[in-house]
A and B are shown apart, each in its own frame.
Chain A
Amino acid sequence: MTDPSPRAVVAKIGRYTFLSVLLGFFALPMLWLASAPFNAHPTLDVSISSFTLHNFSVLLKDPYALPSLWNSLLLAGGTALLTVGFAAAAAYALSRVRVPGRDGILYTLLLLSSIVTGTAAMVPLFQLAFKLHLIDSRVGVILVFTGGLIPAAIFILKDFTDGTPKSYEESARVFGASPFQIMRHIVLPMIRPGLATVTVWAVVNVWSNFLIPYILVRNPDKYPASVVLYTFYTEGGQPNLALISAFSLLYSIPVVVLYLFVSHRYGFRFHGGIKR
């Protein structure tokens, strides 16, 4: 090989400069999250002085921190259960029984769920919860989330159901299994990857959501983690950095773990299907 031309050298320098700036831009805000939770004096600038787990004992003592994680878990778990249960049943019925205008209904629902976001519909959603006495009720928050997630969940699960052969169900029916038995013992095991996908997606959505609980929950005892974290740094003069840093880390870990699990297991895609 001849010596690289000056132009190629410049191009290479340019490329690595760009990548370094990029690395800095994306890493810089994260550094605090990695260092402050274990720092005896967590200030807002990134510093690693004395390693300690003291901040986590501050977290254990706070009356709202751990309960809020429990609240988040309840909301995420409840929403995932309802969404997966209702959507799987609907997806199976729509996949196997010919309903007139099925595709039209499905697409309209999907269109609606992408238009009627929590942000665009916060006024009527608050009003509805108020009228139904669902302010401060976990059930209310779960129902609002579920309504928004079901259309896409039906779509994903129908994709999985369409991709499974009908012959198993037919032979089970020949041997006298009831529709309920067929669904439970044949269909559900076959679409398990789809159920996992929807569960993870629903959990991550609810776990991270701030706006819906922020407008529907008034009682601090029922705040999920997203709202509690916001109150930690906005209410009362000096933010308690020991608490915020340890709490942020604890609150972020499940999302990252779920993501790693999914990408390790299935490879990271936006939505999958057996067909593709």
Chain B
Amino acid sequence: MARTASPRAAEDPAGLGRAGAAAITAPALLVVAAFLVFPALWTLYLGTTNYRLTGFAARHPHGVGLQNYTNVVQDPGFHHSLWLTLEYVLLSAVVGQAALGFAIAWMLRDATGWLKRLIEALVLLAWILPSSVVAFLWVAMLDRDSGTLNALLHTPGTAWAIEHPMAVIIVFNIWRGTAFSMLLYSAALTSVPPSQLATARMFGANSWQQLRDVVFPHIRGHILTNLLLISLWTFNDFTPYQITAGGPNGKSQILPVYIYQTALFDGQMGLGAAISLLMLLINLIVALVYLRLLRERRREPVAA
């Protein structure tokens, strides 16, 4: 004899019940609580101790209040690292990846055939290969004695990674991350009505005017989304360490590398945690702006 489905069944079709639902949700929440939420909160506490990896302070750490924070704020090495990070994120993500990604998407929007497929495949390959592999490919290409770049440019003996470390990691990151912007803008460009572009062309608008008056207003939301995401990823990227290790003499010591070398290499865990907190805060601000943006875009009426 079959029961008729009660209205409650619509809310719980498999008959899990509240307790059952809680039980099967628990493992996921526990792992997240222990290995994601707790570390973030613990950073707050660690930053106020004189914790070290080795020696007396490793066994008997004690609170030093806000000493770490004042030390960090006054440390010229930290200021230097902050500037390098800003330069790295702005030039490699906001300017480099976004502009190149858009240029490729725009150039190839109507293209078909092998050239388009080849370029897209290579750009994607640079994005999906493991970071250790691409880091070594660049080390090999830039090598002083037998690198491909010196052979091409006839500049034997130029040690690019030592003479221009920031330029190297910036160009590397453009090469590495352009794929995402390219994919996102390719998708966004399909939403621009061809009729409007045709009209603009009929009135004699050149390419730049078409972009400015028709395309950009249509994909403004995509542009912002893209800039926020690639900035966040670039800021949290550790791959440059595998190419220059922050060197020479800290000339390419962006914030992630600075934290690694302070906390895990020199063993100043408390100080490292204080800098980590700042990094978490910057991430939080970027992510909140992003969420805000998404919510606004959802409220917008769909453009006809």
Given A89-B27, A127-B42, A251-B130, A45:B276 Cβ within 8 A: no
Determine whether the beta carbon of B16 is less than 8 Å from that of A43. Answer: no
Given contacts A169-B13, A226-B130, is CB(A89)–CB(B279) below 8 Å?
Answer: no
Task: Decide yes or no whether A53 CB sits under 8 A from chain B.
Answer: no
Does A221 interact with chain B (Cβ within 8 Å)? Answer: no
Q: What does the 1/0 interface line of A161-192 toward B look like (CB < 8 Å)?
A: 00000110110111100010011000100000
Given contacts A18-B107, A90-B24, A230-B132, A25 and B175 within 8 Å (CB-CB): yes
Asked if A33 meets B148 with Cβ closer than 8 Å, knowing A23-B118, A116-B40, A117-B283, the reply is: no
Asked whether any CB of chain B lies closer than 8 Å to the CB of A57, the reply is no
Is B122 among interface residues, defined by CB-CB distance under 8 A?
yes
B18 at the interface (CB under 8 A from A): yes
Residues B5 and A170 in contact, CB atoms below 8 Å apart? yes
When A147-B36, A210-B239 are in contact, do A86 and B104 touch as well, CB less than 8 Å? no
Set B46, B175, B236: member contacting A29, Cβ < 8 A: B175
Residue of A whose beta carbon sits closest to that of B239: A210
Contact A147 B13 (CB under 8 A): no
Q: Is B76 an interface residue (CB 8 A)?
A: no
Whether, in the assembled complex, A64 has its beta carbon less than 8 Å from a beta carbon of chain B, the answer is: no
Residue ID in chain A nearest B18 by CB atoms: A97
A149 nearest CB across to chain B (Å): 10
How far does the alpha carbon of A216 sit from the alpha carbon of B95 in the complex, in Å?
Answer: 34
Does the CB pair A124–B273 fall under 8 Å?
yes
Contact A93 B122 (CB under 8 A): no
Residues of B within 8 A of A182 (CB): 14-15
Dominant SS among interface residues on chain B: helix
CB distance from B283 to the nearest CB of A (A): 4
Asked if B24 and A89 make an inter-chain contact with CB atoms under 8 angstroms apart, the answer reads: yes
Bitwise interface map of A from 122 to 151 toward B, beta carbon under 8 Å scored 1, else 0: 111111100000000000000110111011
Query: Hey, which chain B residues are within 8 Å of A80, CB to CB?
Result: none
- For A26, the chain B residues whose CB sits under 8 A away are 119, 122-123, 125-126, 175
* Count of chain A residues near B, Cβ 8 A: 94
Evaluate contact between A32 and B130: CB separation under 8 angstroms.
no
Q: How large is the interface on B (under 10, 10 to 19, 20 to 34, 35 or more residues)?
A: 35 or more
- Shortest Cβ distance from A35 into chain B, in angstroms? 11
Q: Which of chain B's residues has its CB closest to A168's CB?
A: B13
A150 contact set on B, CB distance < 8 A = 28, 31-32, 36
How far apart are the CA atoms of A79 and B285 in the complex, in Å? 29
Question: Which residues of B in the span 198-242 have a Cβ within 8 Å of any Cβ on A?
Answer: 232, 236-239, 242
Shortest Cβ distance from residue B45 to the other chain A in the assembled complex, whole angstroms: 9
Contact B128 A256 (CB under 8 A): yes
B98–chain A nearest beta-carbon distance, Å? 15
CB distance B21 to A97 under 8 Å?
yes
Interface string of B11-46 (1 = CB under 8 A from A): 111111110111011011101101111111011001
Closest-by-CB residue of A relative to B136 is A233
Contact string against B for A residues 79-103, beta-carbon threshold 8 Å, 1 for contact and 0 otherwise: 0001001110110111011110000
Interface residues of B in 50-73 (CB under 8 A from A): 51
CA distance A270 to B29 in the complex (A): 24
Q: A123-B272, A174-B5, A182-B14 are in contact. Are A29 and B138 (CB under 8 A)?
A: yes
**How many angstroms from the CA of A251 to the CA of B28 in the assembled complex?**
30
Question: Which residues of the other chain, A, contact B260 by a CB distance below 8 angstroms?
Answer: 122, 215
Q: Which residue of A lies closest to B27 (CB)?
A: A86
**Does any Cβ of A come within 8 Å of B140's Cβ?**
yes
Q: B16, B35, B115, B138: which contacts A147 (Cβ < 8 A)?
A: B35
Instruction: Please state if A121 and B264 are interface contacts (CB–CB under 8 Å).
Output: no
- Asked if A274 lies at the interface with its beta carbon under 8 angstroms from chain B, I say no
For residue B129, CB closer than 8 A to chain A, the reply is yes
Q: Are A126 and B232 in contact (CB under 8 A)?
A: no
Q: Which residues of chain B have C-beta atoms less than 8 A from A126's C-beta?
A: 263-264, 269
Given contacts A112-B37, A127-B269, A147-B35, contact A248 B136 (CB under 8 A): yes
| Complex CA distance for A29 and B237, rounded to whole angstroms | 20
Within 8 A of A (CB), among B249-270: 256, 259-260, 263-264, 269
Closest chain A CB from B256 CB (angstroms): 4
* Contact assessment for B128 and A124 in the assembled complex, using a CB-CB cutoff below 8 Å: no
Interface residues of B in 101-139 (CB under 8 A from A): 103-104, 107, 115, 118-119, 122-126, 128-139
Tell me if A43 and B25 are in contact (CB < 8 A).
no
**Binary A-proximity of B137-155 (CB < 8 A = 1, otherwise 0):** 1111101011111011000
- In Å, the complex CA distance between A90 and B27 comes to 8
Extra pairs beyond A44-B141, A116-B283, A248-B133 (14, CB < 8 Å):
A27-B122, A93-B16, A93-B20, A96-B11, A96-B21, A111-B288, A113-B36, A120-B280, A123-B43, A123-B264, A146-B31, A147-B34, A154-B28, A233-B139
Can you show 19 pairs from A to B with CB atoms below 8 A apart? A29-B141, A32-B148, A44-B140, A44-B146, A98-B12, A112-B36, A112-B37, A115-B40, A116-B39, A118-B236, A120-B280, A121-B280, A123-B264, A143-B31, A146-B35, A167-B13, A211-B238, A226-B131, A244-B136
4 A-B pairs closest in CB distance: A147-B35, A124-B39, A208-B130, A97-B21
